[in-house]
């Protein structure tokens, strides 16, 4: 029993891939399919990362590789109604919304606000058929799918996801909401959403990705987003992970920024049994400004692992990163943030901070900020703090009449609030404040209340 079962599930996914290939029929001759094949070949060789990989040292994938996840690449989206997904939408937000069920586009749940001419907000599968000339120059160009098992698997099973195209000089007034809902069948399911976002020169867009699922369902979301931000363009991106607490969520986000562009990438993790985010931004032109904000709130046995990589490749760019974590009960977290300043990137200004709040003695965080600097005229700083709630502040609130748990709750929400207030969209911020408040109430330690 102790032997490694099926080479960490490699054979299982190779067999699923063979079946997927059969379903593709004629499409298997396409250039895209060659990319899929390259990806699965890499996966066949390397499999999933293990704790021997430096980048995966603190995240144990044993539970994930024990389960047979069934890719639902031919599911029936019609079985899910608007009422089912309602809790995951923004009630008061005018937006263009694309909904995906187990990674596949669900037109009957999607809505569109009026969009400026030339803007495309559609499914990747459709875009590949209708406007391949816009997709092919970018798809698979940024994500290192031949270096890492999950990126390889996502690319091998690439079928659908969102495609967003904003033409030059176009400002999108209303945000785009991409909602990925997982609904497991009788067996644990897997989905592989793949998104491509292209914001052309001097254009502007705001985009929210929500990953959600239903209580207690076991499934795997292996998502990847590539975003290309043109010269002088602006993108505000917000990823909200609110999967089922029994789900596995592994996501990669790759931002490619041209000169004078601005990016704000917010990354909020609330759900999931195991969460891993790999967020990379390449500052590939002068005078780029990147802001990375992250909040993770975990309880019970949840585990979250955020890896960020900021590549300062050109001079005169600035990056600001703040990741805040709250860990309750027996939950565990990893933050690894690397700032890589290339030799050419003089006058770089980079600031990174990771702050963690442990609400229990059994919660644990591993925080590893990392600076790698090859230029000599730069301003870089980083810091990491981990602590418990300020007991003087708890006493102060109690001395004014607040109960112990209310005091703890107020202080913890304030800790999260400092991050959430950086989210520009008020409706999104409000929803997140509600989710954070609700989640704090649900932590096991509130059992002590009685």
Partner 1 sequence: MLQIKNLHARVGEADILKGIDLEVRAGEIHAVMGPNGSGKSTLAQILAGHQDFEITEGSVVYEGKDLLDMAPEERAREGIFMAFQYPVEIPGVNSAYFLRTGLNEIRKHRGEEEMDAMDFLGLIREKLELVEMDESFLKRSVNEGFSGGEKKRHEVLQLAVLEPRLAILDETDSGLDIDALRIVAHGVKTLHSTEKSIVVVTHYQRLLDYIVPDYVHILLQGRIVKSGDRELAIELEEKGYDWIKKEQADARVEA
Residues that bind partner 1 (CB under 8 A): 390, 392-393, 395-404, 406-407, 410-411, 413-415, 417-418
- CB 354 → partner 1: shortest distance, Å? 17
Of the pair 373, 402, the CB lying nearest partner 1 is at 402
Helix, strand, or coil (residue 211)? strand
Considering the complex, state which of residue 196 and residue 416 has its C-beta at the smaller distance from partner 1.
416
Q: What is the dihedral of CA 340, 230, 175, 167, to 10 degrees?
A: -160
Environment class of 155 (CB within 10 Å of its CB; exposed 0-12, middle 13-18, buried 19+): buried
**Minimum Å distance from CB 410 to partner 1?**
6
The residue among 334 and 407 lying less far from partner 1, judged by its C-beta, is 407
DSSP 214-258: -TT--EEEEEEEEEEE-TT-EEEEEEEEE--TT-EEEEEEEEEE-
368 to each of 136, 294, 303, 350, how far by Cα in Å? 36, 15, 16, 16
Q: Nearer to partner 1 by C-beta: 373 or 410? A: 410
| CA-CA-CA-CA torsion sign (227, 232, 235, 236) | positive
For the CB of residue 358, give the shortest distance to partner 1 in the complex, in Å: 18
CB closer to partner 1, 31 vs 414: 414
In whole angstroms, the minimum distance from the beta carbon of 280 to partner 1 comes to 30
Q: How far is the CB of 323 from partner 1 (least distance, A)?
A: 16
Nearer to partner 1, 265 or 420 (CB): 420
| Residue 131 phi, psi (nearest 5) | -135, 60
Nearest approach, Cβ of 390 to partner 1 (angstroms)? 7
- Measured between its terminal Cα atoms, the distance across the chain in Å is 43
Whole-angstrom CA distances from 396 to 404, 405, 410 are: 11, 13, 12
Name the one residue in this structure whose structure tokens are 């230029």.
375
């Amino acid at each position: 029993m102790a032997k490694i079962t099926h080479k960490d599930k490699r054979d299982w996914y190779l067999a699923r891939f063979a079946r997927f290939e059969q379903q593709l029929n004629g499409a298997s001759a396409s250039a895209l399919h060659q990319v899929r094949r390259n990806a699965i070949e890499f996966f066949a060789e390397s499999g999933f990362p293990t704790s021997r990989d430096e980048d995966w040292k603190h995240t144990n994938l044993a539970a994930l590789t024990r389960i047979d996840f069934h890719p639902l690449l031919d599911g029936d989206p019609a079985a899910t109604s608007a009422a089912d997904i309602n809790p995951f939408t923004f009630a008061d937000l005018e937006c263009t919304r694309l909904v995906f069920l187990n990674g596949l586009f669900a037109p009957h749940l999607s809505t569109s606000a009026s969009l400026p001419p030339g803007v495309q907000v559609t499914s990747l599968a459709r875009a590949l058929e209708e406007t391949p000339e816009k997709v092919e120059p970018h798809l698979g160009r940024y994500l290192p799918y031949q270096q890492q098992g999950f990126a390889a698997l996502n690319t091998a099973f690439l079928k659908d996801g969102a495609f967003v195209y904003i033409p030059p000089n176009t400002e999108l007034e209303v945000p785009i909401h991409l909602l990925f809902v997982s609904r497991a069948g009788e067996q644990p399911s897997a989905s592989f959403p793949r998104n491509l976002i292209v914001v052309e020169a001097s254009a502007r867009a705001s985009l929210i990705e929500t990953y959600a699922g239903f209580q207690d369902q076991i499934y795997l979301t292996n998502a990847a987003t590539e975003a290309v931000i043109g010269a002088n363009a602006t993108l505000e991106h917000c990823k909200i992970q609110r999967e089922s607490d029994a789900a596995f969520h592994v996501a990669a986000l790759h931002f490619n920024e041209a000169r004078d562009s601005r990016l704000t990438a917010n990354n909020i993790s609330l759900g999931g049994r195991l969460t891993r985010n790999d967020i990379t931004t390449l500052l590939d032109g002068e005078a780029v400004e990147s802001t990375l904000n992250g909040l993770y709130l975990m309880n019970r046995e949840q585990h979250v692992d955020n890896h960020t990589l900021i590549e300062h490749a050109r001079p005169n760019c600035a990056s600001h990163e703040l990741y805040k974590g709250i860990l309750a009960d027996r939950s565990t977290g990893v933050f690894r943030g690397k700032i890589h300043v290339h030799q050419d990137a003089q006058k770089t200004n980079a600031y990174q901070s990771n702050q963690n709040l442990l609400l229990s003695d059994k919660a644990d965080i591993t925080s590893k900020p990392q600076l790698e600097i090859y230029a000599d005229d730069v301003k870089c700083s980083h810091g990491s703090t981990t602590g418990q709630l300020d007991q003087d502040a708890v006493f102060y609130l109690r001395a004014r009449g607040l109960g112990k748990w209310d005091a703890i709750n107020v202080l913890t929400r304030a800790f999260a609030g400092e991050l959430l207030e950086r989210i520009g969209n008020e409706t999104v911020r409000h929803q997140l404040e509600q989710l954070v408040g609700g989640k704090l109430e649900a932590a096991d330690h509130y059992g002590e209340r009685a």
